[in-house]
Structure 1
Amino acid sequence: MSYYADFAPGSGRRFPRAAFTSDAPRIDLNGVWRFHLSPTIAAAPEGMHDPGFDDSGWDELAVPSHWQLRGHGAPAYTNMLYPFPLDPPFPPDENPTGDYRREFEVPESWDGMGAVLRFEGVDSCFKAWLNGHELGFSTGSRLPTEFDVGEVLRPGRNVLAVRVHQWSAGSYLEDQDMWWLSGIFRDVQLIARPPGALDDFFVHAGYDHVTGRGTLRVDTTVPATLTVEELGLRDVPADREHVLDGVEPWSAEIPRLYDAVLATEGERVRLRIGFRTVTVEDGLLKVNGKRVLFRGVNRHEWHPRDGRALSEATMREDILLMKRHNINAVRTSHYPPHPRFLELCDELGLWVIDECDLETHGFHDVDWRGNPSADPRWREAYLDRIRRMVERDKNHPSVIMWSLGNESGAGDNLRAMAEWARSRDPGRPVHYEHDRDSRYVDVYSRMYPPVDEVEQIGRRAEKPLDDAEADAHRRGLPFILCEYAHAMGNGPGGLSEYQELFERHPRCQGGFVWEWIDHGIAHPELGYAYGGDFGEELHDGNFVTDGLLFPDRTPSPGLIEYKKVIEPVRITIGDTIVIENRYDFRDLSHLAFTWRLEEEGVTVAEGVLDVRDGRAPLPRLPATSGETWLTVRAVLAADEPWASAGHEVAWSQALVRPAVRRTTAPHRRSPEDLGTFDPVTGRLVSLGGLPVDGPRLDLWRAPTDNDIGMFESVEREWRAAGLHRVRHRLLGVSRDGGELVVRTRVAPAAHDRAMLATYRWSTEEDRLQLVLEVEPIGDWEDLPLPRLGLRMALPGWISRVEWFGRGPGEAYADSRRAARIGRFAMTVDEMQTPYVRPQENGNRADVRWATLTGEKGGLRIAGDPTFDLTVRRWTSEDLDAAKHLTDLVPGDKVYVNLDIAQNGLGTASCGPGVLPQYRLLARPASLTVAFSRVDA
């Protein structure tokens, strides 16, 4: 059997060990390599491993990188389907194979020393030769591989040759909802091993929360001494347990690290040690004796140009963004990250669930027939993957749980992984969501359960298992959502309802939003490409763009909403201001509390609160005459490693003075005195010389990814009901006192359901006022509407929007916590949210008034009391038809929606739909708005 089609995970490799750097010499082999891509293994050049092979005609390729992102072959995306026949362990014959060659110099000083060649990550299978000597092969794309090379290394010129196959037996274990990308995509190093060098070590740094003592022991493969100056340890035996008084523990909130040196005869290793103890007791997951609440995200490694070949700057940027958005935990979905990422998690503070490089989800489509998880021939490959992860990452205090992998069904190979991990490292719990009964794991984990089920689980009242013993075991475990709130496109909605349960039920210890970043690939014509854009015969479309960050790492509205929902400080403004600490370990001394009073969105007073014992008196507020809001903010009092002083952590608002309702003046003029109406349709066509098309009743929005859904699709219901193709029939135009009354019937073909729309036009001083009354007729059953409101069009020279209402970002019925009341201004273009696949976006909620202006003046719109506002240069139909942002071409109009409401967002792209309280059902409704001309 060929090595690339072998159940064995590799050959010739060293036993896995911790990732560390020392003062031993090393040679960085990253950089430009010679590269040649063959369409099949059979077509690959013979003899490429020979040191004298002529590679002068080959291309050059950077290492680390993916060859598909550097002009060789093409990316392909599937969520769970394997893009090759299910024929384990055999890959297809059409197996692109990349050959790499690199010459490097070794100094004379290395003569006589051992050496290790280390690959941090190669996708999906590779064989290596050094100076013509075959070293071995390896699978496990996102795991390190090391070869002993001291006997074949020589001073002076050396030639390293590596053959990489896109597909291998290992590919059956790597079906992880991501782009299929190949190559040497992580670092390559040559590491000298002087005599007496340290081969491996295991730091055991526990913390007793009762006594405040720390215990420290470092298991080493050779005799070593340990120095931790801050703790008074100097050249003490490393493998002896040291009991230390007054240790400051490590946590994600206060990531206290102690600098240490581990010294052997041959090298010195600098360590950063964090003291912490993880337990599952009393049905709860605890760190240092306290229940923790995960405010987490799932993080694939991704960059829109480099794929999974990330720079340190990108890794640091991810963590800084997480910390700045109140995220405290990351699940490394669905493989161990670059080792530097975990060092940064130690330093900056994140709880980490470290997940093994394992997923066999594609076997689901054949009812799990042939699933490697239950096939003993794959046992060693499974154990090899968990060993390499645990051994590499065992010294990181941020890693508080091991995860066996993701969506790989059930089977004894997974149980064997759990047993090995627990025996090797009993200080960390084991996680695996597909162990439905939780028989061999330490936490009960689920994906995308609805809110009502989470509530039952929180009360330990979930549906019982058939096996009473297994049921009692699972019911006694802590519960986490390893995935929830699918952040695909516009959404997710409903975050608040989950968070309320996490905070109410101790068993519900939070969750991890899917996922961190959109995996769009930078594309010269499309902006960002997704599945199918590279001609894949099998793909899953834009399901790969499901992140809280856009591909360029701009926070999406979903991330802004998540930050607000998971605030670690709760501020309640009443007769006094109450400050509630929601941190697990940290007090509030690092925060300052500021206040600001705004009248109609304009600041009239501000100051700093004096908070004592979680309370502060209301500040003395000046008198105001308009609608007035008090905003209280919790901000960093001083610089933190992850943000500067003044960074906002939490906020709250309270209405101090409501708006004064405008007294309606008698109708002295007819509506035609202020506006021009079409004599046939009764529609407004101009206002004070400003061309206006509409407004008229609108029920449609460009479906969001969550509307389209995976398991439940409201978009299909909408299209089946014809809501995307309604027609307007004039019923009559009449006078009622000083009002112009226009009545229409709005309905789709092929059904007798309809909306009766009555437009009542009147004047109020210099304003043209419209009262829209909507009445559903016929059988609307339980069908939610996409939206209910008015649509109109203005001239394309309208370029700027100012409004008083919620902002600055978009808000929807079940995703509006992050939008605060204020006065905001943006260009029309800035009002758009650039979801990778165009869809409904940009709604501003609870707008009191808005002005839409340009070089020739514009329009002011006032609500009585409020309306929702969307302004864009294309119609909902244009958005609906577009596949990429580049499909949206501005025309000669600006389209404006003034809505009573829109349907909620939900998270049905991969999860529950819209909660009942956020569904927009057909009911009688009304909207009052007034229009007035704005001069240039």
Structure 2
Amino acid sequence: MTDLAYLVDVSPGTGTLPPRAWPPGSDTARLSLNGSWRFRLTPHAGADTDFAADGYDASAWGELRVPGHWVLQGHGAPAYTNVLYPFPVDPPFVPTENPTGDHLRVFDLPPDWPAGGEAVLRFDGVESCARVWLNGTELGEFKGSRLPHEFAVAPLLRERGNVLAVRVHQWSSGSYLEDQDQWWLPGIFRDVTLLHRPEGAVRDHFVHASYDHESGEGTLRVDCEPAGRVLVPELGIDTATGEGVTVPVEPWSAEQPRLYEGELVTAGERVRLRVGFRTVRVEDGLIKANGRALLFRGVNRHEFHPETGRALDPETMREDVLLMKRHNINAVRTSHYPPHPVFLDLCDELGLWVIDECDLETHGFHAVDWRGNPVADPRWTPALLDRAARMVERDKNHPSVVIWSLGNECGTGEGLTAMAAWIRERDPSRPIHYEGDLSCKDTDFYSRMYADHAEVAAIGRGEEQPLPDAESDARRRAMPFLQCEYAHAMGNGPGGLAEYQELFETYPRLQGGFVWEWIDHGLAHPEYGYAYGGDFGEELHDGNFVCDGLLFPDRTPSPGLLDFKSVIQPVRMDGDGRDGVVRVRNLYDFADLSHLEFTWSYEKDGVTVREGVLDVPAVPAGESAEVRLPAPPRRDPDAETQWTLRARLAKETAWAERGHVVAWAQLPVEGGMQLPDPGGAAPVREGGLITLGAGTFDARTGTLLAVGGVPVNGFGLDVWRAPTDNDNGMSWATGSSVAARWRALGLDRMQHRVDAVESAPDALTVRTRVAPAASDLALRTTYRWISNGIRLALDVLVEPEGDWTVPLPRLGVRLGLPVAYDRVSWFGAGPGEAYPDTGAAAMLGVWSADVAGLQTPYVRPQENGARADARWLELTDGQRCFKVAGAGFSFTARPWSTADLDAAQHRPDLVAGDTLWLHLDARRQGIGSESCGPGVLPEHQLKVGDQRHGFSFQFTVREGDA
């Protein structure tokens, strides 16, 4: 049996080489050891180490793909927790029941492998603890899952039959430092590489490339061990390492990521340099790059793929960066660990500001009142410093990395202070971030998570709650402010994005934020489609809280990402569509508008009747210009008219094609649709039915049964929705979720009582009382129907009874149609979903889709798919068309009921029935961000109070397709 003391040793490990910079390219030999490895899983950590002996026969073992996680390849199962550790909190100890994966890889050196020199075995990421042998000799062990570790191995190599043995434990003392709100996924999940290091090769290098915005010059100095020369041909630079050179340059920024190709040449190696000149500092209470204040339009990004977990290939990483750029995102926080280094190469190349976060989070100590927290225990400080050093040394040459982050949700302690001091000594060119200490003693920013809009506004004005310590309070008030996490993108939402962005753009101190987070972490599952916490039988889990991204697991943009793109668009176009003057504002930090071309279209009732090019000057960053639209066509007071303006890329870029829409706006000109008078017919009673023009009703209950011969069922007042993840989030003000209050009130099981069915010469009136069981609250609802024989019109009056203190989910009517009416056209906002505090991406126009296309595939089913501001809606079965008209209503159309949607836990739970459920809403509750943030803002709540609420619809059926 092996000695297991290293598992609970709080030191970072033994036998590894000092950390160094990631080389983006080198002319030295390298051998990838990725691929198929032999693998054996044992349920505990105490198995013998005979497998590491030279000549061990592992032919009976299974095979495993490396990079990869064994729990995603049929060995054990993944588990998800947000905060709580899935093992007893007893640092530094871990359970004996500690799944342990033994990995074996036999390899030959290539025929052209150079003789002499040294060799380094590099691991870029192993969770959580690895012990390594080569050809029977133990090299050492290490912790720090998302960080690189290297071993010197030259004396042990042979030409053929090298045996690399790696024992990986799921749990170790390092696990206490990696409680990072993600799946626990053990394994060798990043690259394993053998590197030849010839005599005189680069041991480490540090590229210092600053920019003086006043002179337009950059200064380059490359420190290197051993000494060598620096070549940048485009700049005419050929100088010794350690010497500074100042030359005129174009600066690097996220908007204009100018890189200069160069080489670092030593006696034994040529290393590719990609030099970006930029200077980042905090001055005048603001974070500035190249002399200009920044506004971060950012996201938090965990590394994730639904099939491979945190084992990402370069193509997936490039897809992430391209999607960010195409959706106007300019910054990324690498939550909560340094990413694969290729991701940072892509940020350098394509342009993103990066907060590089250390592989550190101890959030689970919150459950024990932070007792034993490692950052407050000096025994752990060497491990914390090791993690800081491995991050900084690996990533120090990336121009995209502009801020170092000490970690996430670690409480406070002197370990963080030691990390900050070391980083400042090693790299004073970048400021430091950490969110969890309100005193901000170790940081250059005041950073918060999920501060609500009112508090963010107060911080912007410098009116935040004071700290007890006057010195700390003064220091913090002089700092710029970041929301390192906000707008929790879980399920439907997030709501309130536009209001946050308005604050960021109003107060200079508020320098933006980072939406939580980039992608839903739904793991591919044969039964559920995508699985979340609890779907693998975990004893302790946090459900679908792991699905809180702007992308669905397959990297399809969610409505939230499309909204975010519109909210943060770097060009604003506003004005009065009637006077034809448009103010174009450039919200870029550096770029003028010369890279964009502007177009206009003039639309009548949602259809374009004219279009052209809008002549917009190259407005400098931060400035605006007024431009004039062409004269509109002849006025048509009976139509709804508007201008739609678009700013598109004028030429192809590295991240999008020419014509890609960067920003858009719509300016109304005139009017709205006028509904015709539908009255004139009289109700006729025959047996158990009442006919009123195009409508057929149950004579006893007054319930609508058909329109124009199209059967209707389930008609009635509709106030319930399948709660969203944000509806289910706990409110800190009330101690419960709004969905829990809805259910406690009984809004999910409202009962309808008919009080009267009244026929008049020109109308049918049905009086009802809609109320929840066990409550004296009610909604007195009156339906008044009229018809001219073609159109059937409905006026609804809702009068609350009692003290309604809880907002309603929705207020409208519901009806069921034959499921064959599955093709939809509408004039309103689209093409995607929109709610009162979302839908910034929805444009007014005429849209069409099938019913399946109206559904938004959130990993956990919930209210979704509403189309807003509709003037009319048509559904067709290919033979007849069912039309609804109204004044700015919202609708959803689904082949399952709200109850079915409410009960579903995964997408496959939703099975289409024989009824298409159509929901027509006059008003709706907003979405908010209360799954882990503020709730719905007051102006977006559906408050009933004691006010009467009225709304109207008209229904028509005609022959023919829509």
1:711 deviates by 3.9
Which segment is superposed worse, 188-197 or 607-616?
607-616
Preserved CA contact (<8 Å) 2:678 2:786: no
Code of the aligned partner of 2:460 = G
Preserved CA contact (<8 Å) 2:285 2:480: yes
Preserved CA contact (<8 Å) 2:404 2:433: yes
After the TM superposition, list the runs of 4 or more consecutive aligned residues in structure 1 that deviate by more than 4 angstroms: none
Residues 490-569 of structure 1 correspond to what in structure 2 (within 5 A)? 490-569=492-571
Separation (CA, whole Å) in 2 of partners of 1:708 and 1:160:
49
1:808 to 2:831 alignment: yes
Change (3 A) 1:890 1:660: closer
1:573 deviates by 3.2
- 1:775 corresponds in structure 2 to 799
Residues 342-361 of structure 1 correspond to what in structure 2 (within 5 A)? 342-361=344-363
Match of 1:784 among 793, 797, 807: 807
Code of the aligned partner of 2:341 = P
Separation (CA, whole Å) in 1 of partners of 2:938 and 2:53:
68
- 1:95 corresponds in structure 2 to 98
Separation (CA, whole Å) in 2 of partners of 1:694 and 1:9:
65
Separation (CA, whole Å) in 1 of partners of 2:222 and 2:17:
21
Scaled by the length of structure 2, the TM-score of the pair is 0.96
Separation (CA, whole Å) in 2 of partners of 1:83 and 1:68:
16
Separation (CA, whole Å) in 2 of partners of 1:82 and 1:876:
36
Match of 2:711 among 680, 691, 696: 691
Match of 1:890 among 912, 922, 928: 912
1:615 deviates by 2.7
Preserved CA contact (<8 Å) 2:693 2:790: no
1:189 deviates by 0.4
- Identical positions, percent: 60
Separation (CA, whole Å) in 1 of partners of 2:603 and 2:453:
36
Preserved CA contact (<8 Å) 2:572 2:663: yes
Residues 252-263 of structure 1 correspond to what in structure 2 (within 5 A)? 252-263=254-265
1:143 to 2:147 alignment: yes
- 1:159 corresponds in structure 2 to 163
1:439 to 2:461 alignment: no
Match of 1:189 among 193, 200, 213: 193
Preserved CA contact (<8 Å) 1:690 1:858: no
Preserved CA contact (<8 Å) 2:337 2:359: yes
- 1:920 corresponds in structure 2 to 942
Separation (CA, whole Å) in 1 of partners of 2:368 and 2:113:
57
Residues 127-526 of structure 1 correspond to what in structure 2 (within 5 A)? 127-234=131-238, 236-244=239-247, 246-526=248-528
Residues 801-840 of structure 1 correspond to what in structure 2 (within 5 A)? 801-840=824-863
1:620 to 2:631 alignment: yes
- SS of the aligned residue for 1:706 comes to coil
Code of the aligned partner of 2:129 = C
Separation (CA, whole Å) in 1 of partners of 2:626 and 2:503:
25
Code of the aligned partner of 2:874 = T
Which segment is superposed worse, 383-392 or 617-626?
617-626
Preserved CA contact (<8 Å) 2:682 2:763: no
- 1:705 corresponds in structure 2 to 725
Gaps of 5+ in 2: 620-624, 684-690
1:694 deviates by 4.2
Code of the aligned partner of 2:72 = L
1:765 deviates by 5.4
Separation (CA, whole Å) in 2 of partners of 1:875 and 1:359:
42
Which segment is superposed worse, 614-623 or 318-327?
614-623
Match of 1:667 among 653, 672, 680: 680
1:399 deviates by 0.2
- 1:851 corresponds in structure 2 to 874
1:155 deviates by 2.5
1:259 deviates by 0.1
Preserved CA contact (<8 Å) 1:577 1:618: yes
1:623 deviates by 2.5
Separation (CA, whole Å) in 1 of partners of 2:782 and 2:678:
22
Preserved CA contact (<8 Å) 1:853 1:934: no
- 1:656 corresponds in structure 2 to 669
Code of the aligned partner of 1:583 = Y
Change (3 A) 1:71 1:665: closer
- SS of the aligned residue for 1:92 comes to coil
Separation (CA, whole Å) in 1 of partners of 2:712 and 2:65:
56
1:666 deviates by 4.9
Code of the aligned partner of 1:283 = G
Separation (CA, whole Å) in 1 of partners of 2:117 and 2:552:
48
Separation (CA, whole Å) in 1 of partners of 2:678 and 2:745:
43
- 1:743 corresponds in structure 2 to 767
1:714 to 2:738 alignment: yes
- 1:604 corresponds in structure 2 to 609
Separation (CA, whole Å) in 2 of partners of 1:320 and 1:182:
29
1:108 deviates by 6.7
1:118 to 2:119 alignment: no
1:353 deviates by 0.1
Separation (CA, whole Å) in 1 of partners of 2:679 and 2:806:
41
Separation (CA, whole Å) in 2 of partners of 1:745 and 1:477:
57
Residues 850-889 of structure 1 correspond to what in structure 2 (within 5 A)? 850-863=873-886, 865-889=887-911
- SS of the aligned residue for 2:457 comes to helix
- 1:900 corresponds in structure 2 to 922
Separation (CA, whole Å) in 2 of partners of 1:427 and 1:675:
74
Code of the aligned partner of 2:100 = T
- SS of the aligned residue for 1:705 comes to coil
Gaps of 5+ in 1: none
1:676 to 2:660 alignment: no
Code of the aligned partner of 2:396 = K
Change (3 A) 1:920 1:470: same
Q: Deviations over 1:522-576 (max 9, x none)?
A: 1111010000000000000000000000000000010011111101000013231
1:855 deviates by 3.4
Q: Deviations over 1:238-287 (max 9, x none)?
A: 2101111x210000000000000100000100110000001101100000
Q: Deviations over 1:830-864 (max 9, x none)?
A: 0000000000001111100000111342310011x
Separation (CA, whole Å) in 1 of partners of 2:846 and 2:922:
20
1:62 to 2:65 alignment: yes
1:104 deviates by 1.0
- 1:586 corresponds in structure 2 to 591
Separation (CA, whole Å) in 1 of partners of 2:330 and 2:905:
34
1:646 deviates by 0.5
Code of the aligned partner of 2:77 = A
Change (3 A) 1:498 1:666: closer
Separation (CA, whole Å) in 2 of partners of 1:82 and 1:803:
50
Code of the aligned partner of 1:374 = A
Separation (CA, whole Å) in 2 of partners of 1:533 and 1:373:
33
Preserved CA contact (<8 Å) 1:517 1:553: yes
Separation (CA, whole Å) in 2 of partners of 1:508 and 1:208:
25
1:665 deviates by 5.5
Separation (CA, whole Å) in 2 of partners of 1:295 and 1:261:
33
Scaled by the length of structure 1, the TM-score of the pair is 0.98
Separation (CA, whole Å) in 1 of partners of 2:896 and 2:379:
57
Separation (CA, whole Å) in 1 of partners of 2:626 and 2:489:
36
1:866 deviates by 2.2
Code of the aligned partner of 1:758 = T
1:157 deviates by 2.5
- 2:622 corresponds in structure 1 to none
Preserved CA contact (<8 Å) 1:259 1:271: yes
Q: Deviations over 1:807-829 (max 9, x none)?
A: 11000011122111000000001
Separation (CA, whole Å) in 1 of partners of 2:857 and 2:104:
41
- SS of the aligned residue for 2:359 comes to coil
Separation (CA, whole Å) in 2 of partners of 1:526 and 1:660:
44
Separation (CA, whole Å) in 2 of partners of 1:842 and 1:934:
26
Preserved CA contact (<8 Å) 1:859 1:931: yes
Matched residues, number? 931
Preserved CA contact (<8 Å) 2:673 2:871: no
Preserved CA contact (<8 Å) 1:519 1:545: yes
